[in-house]
Amino acid sequence: MKSRIKLTITYIIPFVLLLVSGFQLFLQPTFLNTNDTATMEALLDGTAREPISGFYFQGGAISQMLLTEKILKEIEDPSLPNDSQPEEIKNRLGRVLLGQRLQIFFYVFLAALSLTSFLSLYFRAFFYTFLNRILYFFGFIHGLFSMPNIALAGASSGRMEDLFWVIPSLFLAFAWIIGMVYLMFSIGKLFSKDDADRFYSLKNLREDESEFRSEGNRNNSFVTVLLHFLGIVALGTLIGNIVYIPLFVLQKNYSEPFGILIAGAVVAVSAFYIRNYLKFGKSPELSTYQNLALGISYLQVRFIRIALMILLVLVLVVVFILFLFNLLTINFGILESLFPSIDSRQNL
């Protein structure tokens, strides 16, 4: 009975986060406090009536991005004189627009992750643990950031009757956080290995391919390794001059066509990967569309793992650079203390 309740909860949570993503994209709840005279937005609601304190729904991230794009386009109107186009405001709006686009991308990603997490659970694919743990982590972050917003909204209202929704909302957010942490550690025990084995052949695909490698390829000589290295350098140089440099020039001078090109390339590669996943790992127990849904879910697993690997590499590079910089700073300090004639690092 306990496991059945837990399974039902794990089925519901992806749809809750999908609903949250949809609200953030299209509608955002906003607490309006008419007693707060620090902003005039409360008095400019487009009607002739004085607004009442409470919760209202305003446009989500998509409408806010469209509004920012409209304002930026009006500022950059070529018919306006140059002194009416302040560069500082345009740069600030550009940064705001970039942040809004990243926000939209995140919520679209969270919505897709919610669907694929549910599909991996429903069809009991072997990668359901990884996808749902990532989903619960984002759910934990969302609950963690929602608690201060709820407390600030209740405190800014200045009315005792608002405590009737503030306190239960805080308890609900706290219970949500505890539930996300619990599920992150216990989701791996939801199904047994025998019950969650669909697409399992993809997990050992690398080991299966190693059986077809000849023994001679594993014991390469120094000359063979050197030839491989030179071939990789030559191929990298060729690709850099033929592909990377033209792409860099394209994205610098033609940003919109470059974005369309990248999106089309991602879609084409995704379709190629899904085709291969279906070819090697489809389950005979499922229909074509069900296997296709699992293939898309597994594709998101690969994207997330690649993104995590890139993030880890970037963190290691940044840590190494900071360590090297601090080490050089310490060396400069030691040299300056040993040799007082060295006035600064520029004289070294």
Q: How far apart are CA 343 and CA 148, in angstroms?
A: 50
Nearest to 202 by CA among 130, 306, 302: 302
pLDDT of residue 347: 46
| DSSP state, residue 221 | -
pLDDT of residue 160: 60
DSSP letters along 137-195, please? HHHHHHHHHHHHHHHHHHHHH--GGGHHHHHHHHHHHHHHHHHHHHHHHHGGGSS-TTT
pLDDT of residue 37: 47
Contact 270, 298 (CB under 8 A): no
Structure tokens at 14: 């992806």
pTM (predicted TM-score): 0.73
pLDDT of residue 182: 92
The full set of domain ranges for the chain reads 1-198
What tens-digit pLDDT sequence spans the chain (348 residues)?
557 888 888 999 999 999 989 888 887 766 665 555 444 444 444 444 555 555 566 778 888 888 888 888 887 777 766 665 577 777 888 888 888 888 898 899 999 999 999 998 888 888 888 999 999 999 999 888 887 776 666 665 556 655 667 777 788 888 999 999 999 998 888 877 666 666 666 665 544 444 444 454 445 577 787 888 788 878 878 877 777 777 777 777 777 777 788 888 888 888 888 888 777 777 777 888 888 888 888 888 888 988 898 898 889 888 888 888 888 888 777 777 777 665 544 544
Structure tokens at 262: 């990248």
Q: What are phi and psi of 65, to 5 degrees?
A: -65, -40
